[in-house]
Structure 1
Amino acid sequence: MKSTLKILIAILLATTLFSCKETPKKHDRLGSATREDKNGWIYLHLAGSPADIGYQHGFLSAKEIDTLIKVLQYYLPTSSGKTWEFYRGASARFLWKKIDKEYQDEMKGIAEGLQAKGFKYDSLDVTALNAYYELPGYYVPTLMNKIKPGSGDNRAPGNCSAFIATGSFTKDHKIVIAHNNWTDYIVGERWNEIVDIKPEKGYEILMDTGPGFIHSGDDFVVSKSGVLITETTITQFKGYDTTKTAEFVRARRAAQYANSIDDFVKIMTTDNNGGYANDWLIGDTKTNEVAKLELGLKNFKVWRSKDTAIIGSNFAIDPKLIKEETTFDVNDKTTSPNARRKRMEKLVYTDYKGKLTDTTGKTIEGDTYDALNNKNAYDRCVIDGHVEEDPLGCREFNEPAFFPMGAVQGKVTTTNLANKMQLWAHMGHPGGADFLATPFFKKHPEYFKTQGKYLRDMKAYPWTLFAAAGK
């Protein structure tokens, strides 16, 4: 009996030890990821492998990603003439194969995070979402012109008012960078994430973005490398190359891996597809040098200095690029880009020269003075745009009278803040005005059929300081 008992105990111990050794530990894909909702923003801290970073994003923002995709499924057939399935198809045909594996893994992870919350999306949905800016505004017009010359409207979306300054233009002679995002309110009111990504490779980045995006999209990025990034789009740009790498891939790659202005320029200009053509404003806090990269498809040019201020309001300045790649009239003072340019030149080069700080940056991004008509106003001509109150709309962006579009949020940072991985962010009009959907539809019922299902109130929240890792 004793002998048998000893044998049984030995077998039991051996089985237990074997079981403990062979049973893998459950991998918690959320890791240290966190979410906090504050003043209209969703703050996410994401860290780990590309797949886990994606999973964390998809899981923690599942409801918001689902809603944004549903908004685009509803809105794109009217605004672009193409369905969501068309954009999924474009993603499969030519976008996916040109995406870096780490970003493929991240987008697959986003889809897996969504699926874990019960949503039936896949990596093509996530790709189409990330290509929201470049496919409808750049690929579709180019495609239509190939099918029937002259049928594609190249009125690429005009987004954003921004500046970057350094040297004698700022109070401490270091960098100040500021930006507000212009877009259709039906999408822009949902552009409300501040994401801190700590990847396995490359630099930690802090950026504003939309739910489910792997890049900033409207582009305001603080990198642990000391590189600061923002942009404004080039109005009425034409051209797109489906054989090259998508803009959203190059923009994320530059945010994560650039250690200098030169790095940023090289990454963005290599295998450039022309999508989402921008005037990029870049700074390096290690040297307090700033630069502008005007990037089309065929042409690009760089300006840089340690003592300058550079503004952006959707106008290009390189004559060759303007002539060859846009239909924008640089001499028409009544357009939104030119009217905002006039106002920003006065504020940045005269009124606040030598006084630029994060505080004055907030003031500039919320400015509502119409330099075309010399009055305070809510219209297409002000830095904090309000096209929904403009009887002329914004023809250079193909938007009719009282179209619900304009500035939807703002961001500001400085060398000192960026060195602590911090930025200021404001959800809603930076000037403090609320957009209210119900009174808008009463005044303009013509927009209810195409936007009534999803256009909602966009309240203006206070400026809020965000930091990497939730500090």
Structure 2
Amino acid sequence: MMEKKNNGGYANSWLLADANTGEIMRFELGLKYYNVERKKDGYFIGCNAPVDPRIRNLECSNTGYADIRMPTGARRVRLTQLMEEHYGEIDVEVAQEVLADHYDVYLQKENNPCSRTVEGHYELDRFEYWGARLPYQPAGAVDGKVMDSNMAKDLSFWARWGSSSGMPFDAEAFLAEHTQYSHLEGYLKDRPTQPWTLFKADEGK
């Protein structure tokens, strides 16, 4: 289904799971190449960079796969560290902590929310290590979603709008400090701290 009429316009990875069998899968789709990996023991991570070397090297450029100065490379390293650290004990609470992680693997700083952390905060990043990006660009992670196998069977999941860590974003204060983005006034919205909230398929009936 995913390959049908594929034009390569949205090369991506999809992480899928079968809650009944415990099998997980990573499906990567490029223009000419695709890759399917399946496991019943282990994990997959996603970091906005292709894993399949054919897609990464023949269909993409400047992916940052091994460059920890860039968000993709840094998140790949940090997510692998966190998955190994919590291997065998990852539940909903641990997953929420992983999504909120602020460790910077490039600068080796424990609490340095920026573009290189799992919870991306481009708005706090000077980007002196990645000249292709604008400093303090108002972008990054805007929500978090967590589900375990039992919740999948129940068609439910936990979600948090805004930062998974609860770090708020004040548009007015941001624009006052970074006037280069004044053209976004009226379009840039606040993202106040929100709680983790449980959503179920039968809600609203």
Displacement, 1:330? Answer: 3.1
**Comparing both chains, which one has the higher relative contact order based on Cα–Cα distances under 8 Å and sequence gaps of 6 or more?**
1
Please tell me whether the aligned partners of residues 421 and 468 of structure 1 are also in contact (alpha carbons under 8 angstroms): yes
Name which of 458, 461, 471 aligns with 2:191.
Answer: 458
Is 2:125 aligned against 1:390?
yes
Displacement, 1:319? Answer: 1.4
Name which of 310, 314, 322 aligns with 2:48.
Answer: 314
Q: Distance in 2 between matches of 1:288 and 1:325?
A: 32
Q: Distance in 1 between matches of 2:8 and 2:128?
A: 27
Q: Which has the larger radius of gyration?
A: 1
Instruction: Return 267-276 or 372-381, whichever deviates more.
Output: 267-276
Task: Give the secondary structure class of the aligned counterpart of 1:360.
Answer: helix
Q: Distance in 2 between matches of 1:414 and 1:269?
A: 28
Counterparts in 2 of 1:341 and 1:421: CA distance versus 1, 3 Å: same
Q: 2:18 maps to what in 1? A: 284
Note the aligned Cα RMSD (angstroms): 1.6
> Gaps (5+ residues) in structure 1?
1-266
Please tell me whether the aligned partners of residues 68 and 116 of structure 2 are also in contact (alpha carbons under 8 angstroms): no
Q: Which amino acid aligns with 2:112?
A: A
List per-residue Cα deviations over 1:94-127 (Å, max 9, x = no partner): xxxxxxxxxxxxxxxxxxxxxxxxxxxxxxxxxx
Q: 1:175 maps to what in 2? A: none
Q: If the length of structure 2 is used for normalisation, what is the TM-score?
A: 0.93
Please tell me whether the aligned partners of residues 142 and 162 of structure 2 are also in contact (alpha carbons under 8 angstroms): yes
Q: 2:106 maps to what in 1? A: 372
Counterparts in 2 of 1:312 and 1:356: CA distance versus 1, 3 Å: same
Query: For 1:342-361, what aligned pairs fall within 5 Å after superposition?
Result: 342-349=77-84, 351-361=85-95
Q: Which amino acid aligns with 2:188?
A: L
Counterparts in 2 of 1:454 and 1:394: CA distance versus 1, 3 Å: farther
Q: 2:200 maps to what in 1? A: 467
Counterparts in 2 of 1:394 and 1:276: CA distance versus 1, 3 Å: farther
Q: Which amino acid aligns with 1:303?
A: E
Displacement, 1:289? Answer: 0.2
Is 2:190 aligned against 1:423?
no
Q: Distance in 1 between matches of 2:65 and 2:160?
A: 31
List per-residue Cα deviations over 1:258-280 (Å, max 9, x = no partner): xxxxxxxxx11122122222111
Counterparts in 2 of 1:330 and 1:286: CA distance versus 1, 3 Å: same
Q: Which amino acid aligns with 2:151?
A: L
Displacement, 1:444? Answer: 0.5
Please tell me whether the aligned partners of residues 409 and 427 of structure 1 are also in contact (alpha carbons under 8 angstroms): yes
Give the number of aligned pairs: 202
Q: 2:166 maps to what in 1? A: 432
Q: Distance in 1 between matches of 2:113 and 2:148?
A: 28
Displacement, 1:445? Answer: 0.4
Task: Give the secondary structure class of the aligned counterpart of 1:407.
Answer: coil
Query: For 1:32-47, what aligned pairs fall within 5 Å after superposition?
Result: none
Task: Give the secondary structure class of the aligned counterpart of 2:44.
Answer: strand
Task: Give the secondary structure class of the aligned counterpart of 1:309.
Answer: coil
Q: Distance in 2 between matches of 1:315 and 1:440?
A: 29
Q: If the length of structure 1 is used for normalisation, what is the TM-score?
A: 0.42
Q: Which structure: greater helix fraction?
A: 1
Q: Which structure: greater strand fraction?
A: 1
Is 2:23 aligned against 1:302?
no
Please tell me whether the aligned partners of residues 68 and 105 of structure 2 are also in contact (alpha carbons under 8 angstroms): no
Query: For 1:2-401, what aligned pairs fall within 5 Å after superposition?
Result: 267-328=1-62, 329-349=64-84, 351-375=85-109, 376-392=111-127, 395=130, 399-401=133-135
Identity %: 35
Is 2:145 aligned against 1:411?
yes
Displacement, 1:395? Answer: 4.7
Q: Which amino acid aligns with 1:330?
A: Y
Name which of 417, 434, 441 aligns with 2:175.
Answer: 441
Task: Give the secondary structure class of the aligned counterpart of 2:180.
Answer: helix
Displacement, 1:331? Answer: 3.4
Please tell me whether the aligned partners of residues 69 and 130 of structure 2 are also in contact (alpha carbons under 8 angstroms): no
Q: Which amino acid aligns with 1:392?
A: F
